[in-house]
Amino acid sequence: MLLLAMFFMPLKGSPLSPVVTTSRGLVVAAEGHAAEAGATILRKGGNAVDAAVATALTLAVTYPRAGNIGGGGFMVVRLADGTATAFDFREVAPAGATRNLYQDAEGKLVKGRSTKGHLAAAVPGTVAGLALAMQRLGSGKMAWADLVEPARALAEKGFEVTDAMAEDLRASADLMGANAAARRIFLRDGNFYRAGETMRQPHLAATLARLQAEGPREFYTGRTAELLAADMAAHGGLITKEDLANYRPVERAVLRGAYRGYELITMPPPSSGGIALLQMLTMLEGHDVAALAPAGAAKIHLFVEVMRRAYADRAAYLGDPDFTKIPVAALLDPDYLARRAATIDSNRATPSKMIGGGLASVTEAEKPEPLETTHFSVMDAAGNVVSCTYTINGIYGCGVVAGETGILLNNEMDDFTSLPGTPNTFGLVQGEANAIHPRKRPLSSMTPTIVLRDGKVVIVTGSPGGATIINTVLQVITNLIDHHMTTSEAVAAKRFNHQWLPDAITYEPGLASEAVMDELRVRGHELKLRKLYPNDPPRWSGMQGSAETIVVDPVTGLRTGAPDGRRPGTAAVSD
Ligand code: GLY
């Protein structure tokens, strides 16, 4: 039952966020049909995990720029009985992938090879991961076919293309125009969709029908796998039937941390997000953040210095834990982080070239990832929660629809280090721990996170945005805990990002007054307004990732879902 739905007027200059408050369950997602699909499953007696599965599958149809079954992601679950676990369904490199895959004979990076076309795709994990989550922690009251049905029906019958989506598709004409199936489905061979028209995806509907009838393994061993592998073979891609048959999602122990009396449950490697978030919060804990103006120079300076140090460690030490030994305990050791924080000069920016991985003298960097991916948060009436971030990496992934499957594939191979120690196509240097290796998972920044107080869930959040994800999650959480903002204010507040290299703060328009910006410059910071990302329509220019967030009032137990107005079409729907 919807108790309250209103258009909340957030902070001056910020996008509008339609906020929903309820005593029952709710789903907050980047697209309305997908949020509704999840809420429908809740109404039918499914739990938060069941609803998350239906939402994820529906986003693959209605939000193809990031929603997917051709990519991968992470889901952090916390049940009302206290059980907490994480599902890692990150894509893996095909068995045929080599360390120098994206270099030419002279060892130079080939522009676009790791981002466009079949060679950029890693083996998708989404279907297997969602199925594992459902099997492990679903209510047991819903059949897999029931959870697939909303997505299948929308793929078959179609849905109305919004203004934003029409604009978005047109802006991706270069990327998808190079692939016949993507060009036909998403660009209508140049007869671009206009707002109000209906998009139908019959091939995707048929694939989803096969998944319904034969179960999730069909994706990996059935007709879908055959079609996908055949399309790869025909176009110089690497993913084979064996790669698909061998794909396995992993259930991992969640990463736990604390901040000012709150408990955090977040994603372990192969996400860098959990470790970096906990590092930053621990470094901040010694400072009275609440006493600082939320958009003042002292606050932004402190946060940037903390970000710089955490991202330097990220680049030096993090990768797939199955391939790289990650010193998790050492990186999260409070004594280490106190020493690290003690190197912060409260008046001067520390140049990033002076900061390496803090455990040793490593000075490599990580490239920024494209500003896409999508996050959704789910809570059911019983108090089970899901924080899920999943992705095809770039907007519309590698721009390839795998033949007659209707599945848009990821370009997650670009999240690997393509050329260790040398600037990549974005002009940045990357880390060795994340080098390409067959069957390895690329390092991710996705940071699905749940925050508790006295054993009760108070925040469920996460974000898209590649390397900016971790800093978005940091700012949402500290806006709530330190600055006591309302849910809507915390999500809408202007954001900034520093990721060690490049050594510059990127910021959203309107972050702070000119006086504050000048003060930051005086302290030695370079400031850059966020730019339009490749393929992004102008209306999304300058935005850091959106954070679809649920906040629970610890006194009343009321849940407020705040979809982030940075993305047109985001929605909170209660059951
Ligand atoms: N592809 C974005 C991420 O995983 O961080």
pLDDT in tens, 499-515: 998 899 999 989 999 99
How many residues comprise the chain? 575
Contacts of 545 (CB under 8 A, 6+ apart): 371, 373, 375, 463, 464, 465, 466, 468, 469, 472, 566
Query: For position 109, what pLDDT does the model report?
Result: 85
The pTM assigned to this predicted structure is 0.94
How far apart are the C-alpha atoms of 376 and 268, rounded to whole Å? 18
pLDDT tens, the chain, 575 aa long: 333 332 233 333 334 447 999 999 999 999 999 999 999 999 999 999 999 999 999 999 999 999 999 999 999 999 999 999 999 999 999 999 999 999 999 988 898 999 999 999 999 999 999 999 999 999 999 999 999 999 999 999 999 999 989 998 998 999 999 999 999 999 999 999 999 999 999 999 999 999 999 999 999 999 999 999 999 999 999 999 999 999 999 999 999 999 999 999 999 999 999 999 999 999 999 999 999 999 999 999 999 999 999 999 998 899 999 998 999 999 999 999 999 999 999 999 999 999 987 675 333 333 444 557 999 999 999 999 999 999 999 999 999 999 999 999 999 999 998 887 654 433 334 577 888 999 999 999 999 999 999 999 999 999 998 889 999 999 999 999 999 999 999 999 999 999 998 899 999 989 999 999 999 999 999 999 887 555 556 666 678 899 999 999 999 999 999 889 888 889 999 99
Pocket flag, ligand 1, residue 446 (CB < 6 Å): yes
Residue 284 corresponds to which tokens in the numbers above? 């901040």
| Gap from CA of 445 to ligand 1 centroid (Å) | 5
| Gap from CA of 390 to ligand 1 centroid (Å) | 8
Atom of ligand 1 nearest to the CA of 469: 5
Phi–psi pair at 174, nearest 5 degrees: -65, -45
Atom of ligand 1 nearest to the CA of 394: 1
Instruction: Calculate the CA 70 to chain-centre distance.
Output: 15
| Gap from CA of 466 to ligand 1 centroid (Å) | 5
Query: CB of 26 within 8 A of CB of 572?
Result: yes
How far apart are the C-alpha atoms of 129 and 135, rounded to whole Å? 10
H/E stretch holding 262 reads strand 262-266
Query: For position 430, what pLDDT does the model report?
Result: 54
Query: For position 36, what pLDDT does the model report?
Result: 97
Pocket-testing residue among 318, 390, 392, 469, ligand 1, by greatest number of atoms within 8 A of Cβ: 469
Pocket flag, ligand 1, residue 393 (CB < 6 Å): yes
Pocket flag, ligand 1, residue 463 (CB < 6 Å): no
Query: For position 433, what pLDDT does the model report?
Result: 85
Per the DSSP assignment, residues forming a β-bridge with 550 are 460, 561
Measured in Å, how far apart are the chain's first and last C-alpha atoms? 6
| Gap from CA of 389 to ligand 1 centroid (Å) | 9
- For 413-444, letters b (16+ CB in 10 Å) and e give bbbbbbbbeeebbeebbbbebbbbbebbbbbb
Q: Which of 439, 402, 437 is nearest to 219 (CA)?
A: 402
Query: For position 536, what pLDDT does the model report?
Result: 56
Pocket flag, ligand 1, residue 444 (CB < 6 Å): yes
Residue 176 corresponds to which tokens in the numbers above? 């998808």
Query: CB of 144 within 8 A of CB of 215?
Result: yes
Atom of ligand 1 nearest to the CA of 464: 2
Residue 198 corresponds to which tokens in the numbers above? 């209906």
Q: Which of 133, 10, 31 is nearest to 375 (CA)?
A: 31
How far apart are the C-alpha atoms of 370 and 75, rounded to whole Å? 20
Pocket flag, ligand 1, residue 369 (CB < 6 Å): yes
Q: State whether residue 367 is helix, strand or coil.
A: coil
**Residue 139 identity (one-letter amino acid):** S
Residues catalogued as catalytic? 373
Please name the residue whose Cα sits nearest to atom 1 of ligand 1. Answer: 393
Query: CB of 116 within 8 A of CB of 175?
Result: yes
Pocket flag, ligand 1, residue 447 (CB < 6 Å): no
Query: For position 537, what pLDDT does the model report?
Result: 60
**Residue 427 identity (one-letter amino acid):** G
Residue 3 corresponds to which tokens in the numbers above? 């108790």
Query: For position 538, what pLDDT does the model report?
Result: 60
Please name the residue whose Cα sits nearest to atom 3 of ligand 1. Answer: 444
Pocket-testing residue among 114, 115, 412, ligand 1, by greatest number of atoms within 8 A of Cβ: 412
User: Long-range contacts: 232-235, Cβ < 8 Å, 24+?
Assistant: 232/118, 232/121, 232/402, 234/403, 235/117, 235/118, 235/400
Pocket flag, ligand 1, residue 414 (CB < 6 Å): no
| Gap from CA of 303 to ligand 1 centroid (Å) | 22
Query: For position 363, what pLDDT does the model report?
Result: 33
Query: CB of 127 within 8 A of CB of 215?
Result: no
Phi–psi pair at 413, nearest 5 degrees: -60, -25
How far apart are the C-alpha atoms of 352 and 363, rounded to whole Å? 9
Residue 391 corresponds to which tokens in the numbers above? 């992705």
Question: What are the Cα distances from residue 170, in Å, to 67, 105, 194, 360, 371?
Answer: 18, 35, 9, 47, 18
Residue 29 corresponds to which tokens in the numbers above? 């997602």
How far apart are the C-alpha atoms of 473 and 435, rounded to whole Å? 26
Atom of ligand 1 nearest to the CA of 445: 5
How far apart are the C-alpha atoms of 290 and 554, rounded to whole Å? 20
Pocket-testing residue among 446, 447, 468, 470, ligand 1, by greatest number of atoms within 8 A of Cβ: 446
Atom of ligand 1 nearest to the CA of 73: 4
Question: What are the Cα distances from residue 470, in Å, to 80, 116, 269, 487, 556?
Answer: 26, 25, 13, 18, 29
Query: For position 15, what pLDDT does the model report?
Result: 41
Please name each of the domains of the chain with its CATH number. Answer: 29-248+371-434 (no CATH), 252-369+447-566 (3.60.20.40)
Pocket-testing residue among 314, 369, 389, ligand 1, by greatest number of atoms within 8 A of Cβ: 369
| Tokens 């900034």 sit on residue | 496
Pocket flag, ligand 1, residue 94 (CB < 6 Å): no
| Gap from CA of 414 to ligand 1 centroid (Å) | 9
How far apart are the C-alpha atoms of 282 and 306, rounded to whole Å? 9
Please name the residue whose Cα sits nearest to atom 4 of ligand 1. Answer: 444
Please name the residue whose Cα sits nearest to atom 2 of ligand 1. Answer: 466
How far apart are the C-alpha atoms of 367 and 374, rounded to whole Å? 20
